[in-house]
Amino acid sequence: MAQFEAKTLKGFRDFLPDAMAPRQAMLRVIEATFERQGFVPLSTPALEYAETLTGKYGDEGDKLLYKFQDHGEREVALRYDLTVPLARVVAQHRNDLQLPLRRYQVASVWRADKPQRGRFREFMQCDADIVGPNTALADAEVLCTGLAVLRSLGIEGAMLHLNHRDLLFSFLQAAGVDDPDQQLKCIRAVDKLDKIGQAGVTAEIVRECGLTDEQAAKAIAPFLAAEATGGAESEFARIRAFFQQELTAAALESALSAVARLETVLGLVTAAGFGAMIQFNRSVARGLDYYTGVIYETRLTDPRVAGIGAVMSGGRYDHLIGMFSRDEIPAVGISLGLDRLLAALVELGLIPGGQGTTPVCVTVFSADQAGTSLQVAQLLRDAGLRVEVDTQGGKLGKQLERAAKRGNVLAVVLGPDEVAAGEAVLKDLRKGEQLKVKIAELAQAAAHALAD
């Protein structure tokens, strides 16, 4: 038989049990929180027609699509995110869906990006969206859901930075950038402000939009940090005064409407009890072309993980579904970056690493006793415990040694004498202690020992 080198594709990963178990524990919390917030699960295929995905993300996003021909010579692509497939689903199944639709999805996405530390070509996203209403309440509900997830995971040190796309366009108009294509290019550049800095953003705008250095500097000036005094209320007052001075009457209405929407959303999220975790930030841009209204990014504020980057982001995309349907159906959503969030949880000690172990092992005294071992294991499983049976067998000492190496906490020993007496030996592998327990009481004793 031919031999092959065992290797993974660059930018892709295997998750061994010790790495996968904390991910699963985290996902269970996320999904439970989504459902507690009133969202229902929805799933989409990994593969879409290429035309479904292209032209939705902008030039840079389109370049990162994994596109190829399938065996039927159809042009297909792996999904880039979970938002565009949702838009396609809503348009395709409009008659089968009750709006408003509150949907969540947890699934892998693929981007042909340059692999580097913390960035992979396959990664998982956790999205929650509300499709139907274009209201500040829908915006706030999605934001509260994302912040509730962070709280459920034990994270209090986080800040959601909120902005509005119409503010971005209005700032650019005030700077003399009126062409829609140039505006989008400027916004994509501003989205990289925290990565390449003011000089890098200015240089990219000059290169991509054909503006002079002076024009580019003027274009990005409004997105830079404003006076940190007076809070959001004073900031909004300054922005209103700026727009009233710099914009025409036709452009002013959109700008002021955006400010009013931000004020309302901030008030609603604060009323829900998340006021300490949200603030207005005029530099948030979000580079994807389909965003239309409120946009946001969330960063952790604990100094131990402050440099980990955005762990949760999203926004309103009111025209995306209309690209697949004659009906314009508004929508808003939020997406959690699982890998960054998990790395932060481990660093903060909020989720233990190395949980790829079943707590209880039932030993097998002999081949004749195998049925009894399975019977007792199932008794414990029916009581809600996670249990494995040592399927390799052999000497009891070897079974206990293997159990300790695997990280089992408890071992159940079922010798002929114990079985005849309706008992089992429950051995704590951490402490080296053991006790005899009636089999009928074994589940309760094991649960108590695990909780100790």
Looking at residue 162, its pLDDT comes to 96
The one-character DSSP state at 317 is -
Average pLDDT estimate for 163-173: 91
Looking at residue 227, its pLDDT comes to 46
Q: Taking the CB of residue 232, how many other CB atoms lie within 10 A of it? A: 17
Decide if 139 contacts 128 (C-beta within 8 A): no
Question: 11 in a domain, yes or no?
Answer: no
Q: Which amino acid is at 219?
A: A
Looking at residue 354, its pLDDT comes to 57
State how many domains the chain has: 2
Tokens coding 195? 């990565």
Decide if 220 contacts 205 (C-beta within 8 A): yes
CA distance 174 to 171: 5
Average pLDDT estimate for 75-100: 96
User: What DSSP letter does each residue of 329-378 carry, written as one string?
Assistant: --EEEEEEEHHHHHHHHHHTTSS-S---S-SEEE----GGGHHHHHHHHH
Burial call 27-40: b when 16+ CB within 10 Å, e when fewer = eeebbebbeebebe
Decide if 87 contacts 331 (C-beta within 8 A): yes
Q: Are residues 331 and 400 in the same domain?
A: no
Q: Is the pLDDT of residue 18 over 60?
A: yes
| Helix 136-152 × helix 249-269 angle, to 10° | 40
Q: Are residues 382 and 338 in the same domain?
A: no
Average pLDDT estimate for 95-108: 96
Q: Are residues 396 and 329 in the same domain?
A: no
Q: What is the pLDDT of residues 303-312, one digit of tens each?
A: 888 888 889 9
Looking at residue 118, its pLDDT comes to 66
Q: Are residues 340 and 391 in the same domain?
A: no
Q: Are residues 217 and 106 in the same domain?
A: yes
Q: Are residues 403 and 307 in the same domain?
A: no
The domain boundary, picked from 317, 347, 377, lies at 347
Local confidence band at 205 (pLDDT 50, 70, 90 cut-offs):
confident
Question: 3 in a domain, yes or no?
Answer: no
**Of 343, 261, 282, which is closest to residue 307 (Cα–Cα)?**
343
What is the CATH number for 382?
3.40.50.800
Which position has the higher pLDDT, 166 or 221?
166
Does pTM surpass 0.85?
yes
Looking at residue 433, its pLDDT comes to 93
CA distance 414 to 121: 49
Percentage of the chain surpassing pLDDT 70?
97
Decide if 30 contacts 36 (C-beta within 8 A): no
- Number of residues written out for the chain: 452
Looking at residue 225, its pLDDT comes to 57
Q: What is the pLDDT of residues 371-428, one digit of tens each?
A: 999 999 999 999 999 999 999 999 999 999 999 998 899 999 999 999 999 999 999 9
CA distance 219 to 212: 10
Local confidence band at 1 (pLDDT 50, 70, 90 cut-offs):
confident
Tokens coding 201? 């953003």
Which residue's entry shows tokens 């027609």? 49
Mean pLDDT rounded to a whole number for the chain: 91
Average pLDDT estimate for 315-324: 96
Report the DSSP pairing between strands 40-41 and 101-110: parallel
- Measured between its terminal Cα atoms, the distance across the chain in Å is 51
Question: 325 in a domain, yes or no?
Answer: yes
CA distance 419 to 401: 22
Local confidence band at 6 (pLDDT 50, 70, 90 cut-offs):
very high
Angle at alpha carbon of residue 131, lines to 148 and 25, rounded to 5° = 35
Q: What is the pLDDT of residues 221-260, one digit of tens each?
A: 887 755 444 578 888 998 999 899 988 888 899 999 999 9
Looking at residue 194, its pLDDT comes to 78
| Helix 442-451 × helix 370-382 angle, to 10° | 60
Decide if 127 contacts 82 (C-beta within 8 A): yes
Q: What is the pLDDT of residues 331-378, one digit of tens each?
A: 999 999 898 899 899 889 888 655 567 899 999 999 999 999 999 999
Q: Are residues 326 and 416 in the same domain?
A: no
Q: Is 294 helix (H, G, I), strand (E, B) or coil?
A: strand
Looking at residue 425, its pLDDT comes to 96
Q: Is the pLDDT of residue 211 over 90?
A: no
Q: Report the Cα 443 to chain-centroid distance in Å.
A: 36
Looking at residue 228, its pLDDT comes to 46
Q: Taking the CB of residue 51, how many other CB atoms lie within 10 A of it? A: 10
Which residue's entry shows tokens 């000690």? 349
Question: 422 in a domain, yes or no?
Answer: yes
Q: Is the pLDDT of residue 82 over 70?
A: yes
Q: In what order do the strands lie in the sheet with 40-41?
A: 40-41, 101-110, 122-131, 331-337, 310-316, 294-300, 158-164, 278-280
The domain boundary, picked from 347, 380, 398, lies at 347
Q: Are residues 340 and 370 in the same domain?
A: no
Q: Are residues 334 and 431 in the same domain?
A: no
Q: Are residues 281 and 327 in the same domain?
A: yes
Category of 273 on φ-ψ map: left (φ > 0), alpha (ψ -120 to 50) or beta? left
Looking at residue 419, its pLDDT comes to 92
Question: Residue 436 belongs to what domain range?
Answer: 360-451
Q: Is 134 helix (H, G, I), strand (E, B) or coil?
A: coil
Looking at residue 353, its pLDDT comes to 59
Q: Are residues 279 and 390 in the same domain?
A: no
Looking at residue 404, its pLDDT comes to 93
